[in-house]
């Protein structure tokens, strides 16, 4: 059986893909397989390809990915520790279903943290940072929904990283990842994409001009403009999953 990950394998000379004999080498190979399976499933969950509440059929997934059940089970446990998968005794593994209250809380945290990060970052942003941010906005114009969410995070990260607050940045990254499953459904229509583009370009313009407080205020508006739509999508998905 050809592995789904064969095209992703590192060259045999790479330490990360070592096939050395002995327990240590075996552990290294297995750890790499777990990480690769986890990364694949994580992307499917975050992109919405695996919808909230859907079952993870281990036999079918192992066959599709070209791996044994052992790294698949370990990858699922890893995703469970990240809050992306629920493990239910005697029932199996399911993509975690967020409550409306949880989605609301994610955005409440974002609206507190992200304007603060941008306020710290604006004086440190370089021309190269802003050029990269503009390039990401342009790339988002024609990106499919799952790629749009990934690019959206890269844009926000580009604007925040010069704040040099890595712990806070990791928290914000987690908040984006947990809510982007619902954000994907928001960016399908042209008007919503145009609105997001305008807001992103305004953030870049204000940052380039060094208007720190105006940029932070615009970021707060930007996050707030999407929260009700995302909550509506989350509520609809929860109703569908429960048969409501």
What is the maximum span of the chain, computed from C-alpha positions, in angstroms?
59
Tens digit of each residue's pLDDT (9 = 90 or more) over 109-139: 999 999 999 999 999 999 999 999 999 999 9
CB atoms closer than 10 angstroms to residue 17: 13
User: Is residue 215 a contact partner of residue 207, using CB atoms and an 8 Å limit?
Assistant: yes
Residue 3: pLDDT over 70: no
Q: What is the CATH number of the domain that holds 219?
A: 1.20.120.530
152 and 200 share one domain:
yes
Tens digit of each residue's pLDDT (9 = 90 or more) over 144-155: 876 888 899 999
- pLDDT band at 178; cut points 50, 70, 90: confident
User: Which of 35, 65, 71 has the alpha carbon at shortest distance from 50?
Assistant: 65
What Rg do the C-alpha atoms of the chain give, in angstroms? 20
Q: Is residue 139 part of a domain?
A: yes
User: Is residue 56 a contact partner of residue 94, using CB atoms and an 8 Å limit?
Assistant: yes
Angle, in degrees to the nearest 10, between helices 23-47 and 69-81: 60
User: Is residue 5 a contact partner of residue 16, using CB atoms and an 8 Å limit?
Assistant: no
Indicate the number of domains in the chain. 2
pTM: 0.70
Q: Which two tokens stand for residue 219?
A: 């970021």
CB atoms closer than 10 angstroms to residue 123: 11
41 and 148 share one domain:
no
62 and 106 share one domain:
no
Helices (H), 12-99: 23-47, 58-65, 69-81
Domain that holds residue 51: 6-95
- pLDDT band at 185; cut points 50, 70, 90: low
- Position 239 scores a pLDDT of 61
- pLDDT band at 83; cut points 50, 70, 90: confident
User: Which of 162, 172, 168 has the alpha carbon at shortest distance from 212?
Assistant: 162
Dihedral pair phi/psi, residue 144, rounded to 5°: -65, 170
51 and 110 share one domain:
no
Residue 188: pLDDT over 90: no
Which stretch of 17-31, 42-56, 202-216, 221-235 has the lowest confidence by average pLDDT?
17-31
Q: CB-based contacts of 220: which residues, under 8 Å, 6+ apart? A: 111, 114, 115
């Amino acid at each position: 059986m050809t592995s789904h990950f064969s095209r992703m394998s590192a060259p045999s000379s790479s330490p990360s893909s070592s096939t050395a004999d002995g327990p240590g080498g075996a552990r290294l190979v297995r750890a790499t397989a777990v990480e690769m399976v986890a990364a694949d499933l994580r992307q499917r969950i975050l992109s919405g390809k695996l919808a909230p509440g859907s079952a993870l059929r281990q036999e079918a997934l192992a066959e599709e990915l070209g791996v044994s059940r052992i790294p698949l089970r370990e990858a699922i446990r890893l995703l469970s520790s990240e809050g992306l998968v629920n493990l239910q005794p005697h029932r199996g593994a399911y993509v975690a279903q967020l409550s409306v209250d949880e989605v609301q809380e994610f955005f409440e945290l974002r609206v507190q943290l992200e304007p603060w990060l941008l306020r710290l970052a604006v004086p440190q942003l370089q021309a190269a940072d802003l050029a990269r941010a503009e390039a990401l906005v342009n790339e988002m114009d024609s990106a499919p929904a799952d790629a749009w969410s990934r690019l959206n995070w890269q844009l926000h990260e580009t604007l925040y990283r010069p704040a040099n607050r890595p712990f806070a940045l990791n928290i914000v990254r987690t908040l984006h990842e947990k809510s982007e499953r619902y954000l994907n459904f928001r960016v399908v229509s042209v008007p919503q994409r145009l609105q997001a583009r305008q807001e992103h370009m305004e953030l870049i313009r204000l940052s380039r001009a060094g208007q720190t407080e105006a940029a932070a205020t615009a970021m707060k508006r930007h996050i707030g403009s999407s929260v009700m739509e995302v909550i509506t999508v989350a509520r609809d998905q929860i109703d569908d999953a429960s048969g409501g």
